[in-house]
Amino acid sequence: MKAVQIQDKRVGSTFLQNAIDSHPNILALDEVFISTYNSPDRKKSGIRPFKIMSEEKGWKIGEYIKWIYNMNDNVIFKLMYNQCDIYDMIDYMVSDKNFNIIHLMRKNFAKRAVSQIKEQGVKIALEFKNSEIINIIEKSIDEQELFRKRLSLTYGKYLELWYEDIIGIRKDNITFVDKDVNKHICDFFEVENIPLFSIISKRSNKVWKTISSRKSLIKEFEKRGWDDYLK
């Protein structure tokens, strides 16, 4: 199975990737189209990004992807929206009918926007006005819907997943995938339906608590929904 996990930033892509990779018959890779090569995990697994391989071996995208997919019978790698545009990956996937896509999205755009802002540092995050956050939300909504339309042009399997629906039972620092979503993912890869899980990063939870002042916006968004929130 040749598959791609496509999403924007801050939608839970690492959780999904780790959960899929917990299946013994699936190899789920992180971003292979990043511009830097500084992740210890990638060095351990020997997954060298496209930028490095194109410089060292002169590989084109097709050659690189073929190398990735030869690593296992079932392989999926992460691809961000901006990377799709940088490398014209949508056109590439439309031309190659063997691509199968998992499109990860997020329903609570307010929480995602706040999560995106926190990457700039706690001090900067706390200085953001709610009006600025709303601008980020509007842009995120438009971009997500645009990619839903663009990905509908591909020919392989297409599975839409929402981060809020993926999260299942939590035990200590391990979070399992929701049972129904778990089955959809295993059916997508045509593998045995066994529990998928991911280990939660305690650091991310700690950082999240430092911007609790934004929780009122998030709760309001959850309560009223985006359309009503703009009124």
Q: How confident is the model at residue 211 (pLDDT cuts 50, 70, 90)?
A: very low
CA angle 182/183/188 to nearest 5° reads 100
Stretch 147-171: mean pLDDT, rounded?
93
Closest by CA to 10, choosing from 122, 109, 89, 103, is 109
Taking the model in full, what pTM does it have? 0.83
Closest by CA to 134, choosing from 117, 154, 151, is 117
Distance CA 215, CA 103 (A): 27
- Whose tokens are 């040749």? That residue is 2
* Structural domains in the chain plus CATH codes: 2-229 (3.40.50)
pLDDT in tens, 168-186: 999 988 999 999 999 999 9
| Residue 113 burial by Cβ neighbours in a 10 Å radius (0-12, 13-18, 19+) | buried
Query: Residue 23 has what pLDDT?
Result: 97
Query: Residue 209 has what pLDDT?
Result: 43
pLDDT in tens, 60-117: 999 999 999 999 999 999 999 999 999 999 988 888 878 899 999 998 887 777 777 7
Q: What is the DSSP letter of 151?
A: H
Distance CA 127, CA 117 (A): 10
Stretch 125-143: mean pLDDT, rounded?
77
- 29 DSSP β-pair partners: 77
